[in-house]
Structure formats: C-alpha cells, structure tokens
Amino acid sequence: MVDVLPLVEARLNSALGEPDARASVTFLGADRIEVLRFQEGDVVRYATLGMSAHPMSDPTAMVADPIEGPRAELVLSVRAGVTDTGPVLRPLAVLAASPQVEGVIVAPGASLDVGKPLWPGAPFTSVLVGEPGGLVEDLELDAPLDPVRFLPLLPMTPNEAAWKRVHGAGALQERWLTHGTDLRDPNRASVPLGPSPE
C-alpha cells in the first residue's frame, strides 16, 4: 500500500515552498494530523497533512473502503501581521480529522463549523470549502486510488454562514466577488447580505 503523505508533503512544498513551522495534533480514534505553516510575502498559509492518508467514506456505508474514495487536505490563507492566527492550527486539525472521527465527506461547497472562533478574537467560527486546483494542483495517485485534492478554506462570519445555508455557496461567493471582499483579511467584516441576487 502506497504511503500517500510523503507525496502530499512534497506537493505542498513544491507549490508553497518550505514550511517555517509545523504542529501535530492527535485525536482519540484517529491518526495524527499535522498542520504546516508557509509564509509567502504578506500571506500565511496553513495546510493540513494527514487527512489524505485514508479515503473519505460515505457515512451511511456499513464498512469504510480502505482503498477507494475521495482524499483531500485543507489549505487556509490569511494576511500576515494583522493578528495572531497561529492558534488556528488546532481548529484546522479538528476539521481535517472529521472524516475519520465523524465519518463525513469534506467537499467543495460544504460548510465546516468549529463552534468557536478560528483564532482568539476572530469574527469567524466556520469556513466554506472552496474548489480545488487553484493554489495547489491535485496530486494524482496510482489507480485505483483517487487523487488528493487540496481544498481552500474560506472563513465565514456567522451571518454569512446563515445566509449561505439559505441561498447556497455559489450565491455567497458571488456576494464576496461583487463587493471585492478580501477573504484573506483575518479581521474583515461580513459582506453586505440582502435578498438573494436574481
């Protein structure tokens, strides 16, 4: 059985450079999750390493498939030097462990809620899972393994998360685009939310 994680780390390093810090978190009943920190200019990126060691399986399946199924890691980008976002490491590890611990499949368009601020004083308690392929390209694995997808996380304020539940991920992303929202600003306010655009 191929060890996926060294290949994943190599892909992250080739796309983002060498990490300047890393932390690991272990949860009961789950493998260790590492979070790597990369800084490029005024942007800090946090990437999980460990989520893709096993495929995500349908929570309704009687037995998890150890080979086939979607694999992913999570990437969060924030502006550096604005506030201390370092404590986001543990919430990210919690989200990355959720497929193993809770049997969920993390996919683009999903909302993930950690139930508390992503870091002290953060106006966000949840994230929207974005589309992969922009920052870090998918990592193809030998058949029958699914590729590893690197999913960007977009922090949402509670109001945005509530609006997204009603109107959908696409409508919220359209709002962000229309208003020129800086999704990397760790202190940003909620985007103006009114009726769903036609």
194 lies in some domain: no
Q: How many domains does the chain have?
A: 1
Do 35 and 46 touch, CB atoms closer than 8 A?
A: yes
Judged against a pLDDT cut of 70, whether residue 63 lies above it is answered with no
> How does DSSP assign 126-168, residue by residue?
EEEE--SSSSS--B--STTSPPEEEEEEEEE-HHHHHHHHHH-
Note down the domain range covering 83: 4-178
Spatial separation of the C-alpha atoms in residues 113 and 124, rounded to whole Å: 9
Q: Tell me, what's the pLDDT at 197?
A: 46
Q: Bridge partners of 116?
A: none
Per residue in 117-149, pLDDT (tens digit) is: 999 999 999 999 999 988 999 999 998 899 999
Do 136 and 12 touch, CB atoms closer than 8 A?
A: yes
pLDDT category at 28 given cuts 50, 70, 90 is confident
190 lies in some domain: no
| Burial class of 23 by CB neighbour count within 10 A (0 to 12, 13 to 18, 19+) | middle
Which sign, positive or negative, has the C-alpha torsion 147, 11, 6, 155?
Answer: negative
| Mean of pLDDT values over 26-35 | 86
Taken as a whole, the chain contains a residue count of: 198
191 lies in some domain: no
Spatial separation of the C-alpha atoms in residues 134 and 70, rounded to whole Å: 18
113 lies in some domain: yes
pTM summary value: 0.93
97 lies in some domain: yes
pLDDT category at 198 given cuts 50, 70, 90 is very low
| Mean of pLDDT values over 102-122 | 93
Write down the mean pLDDT value for the chain: 91
Identify the residue with better confidence: 156 or 26.
156
107 lies in some domain: yes
Q: Which of 81-85, 152-156, 157-161 has the lowest mean pLDDT?
A: 81-85
User: In Å, what is the CA distance from 174 to each residue of 68, 84, 125, 188?
Assistant: 34, 29, 21, 17
Determine the 3-state secondary structure of 34 from DSSP: strand
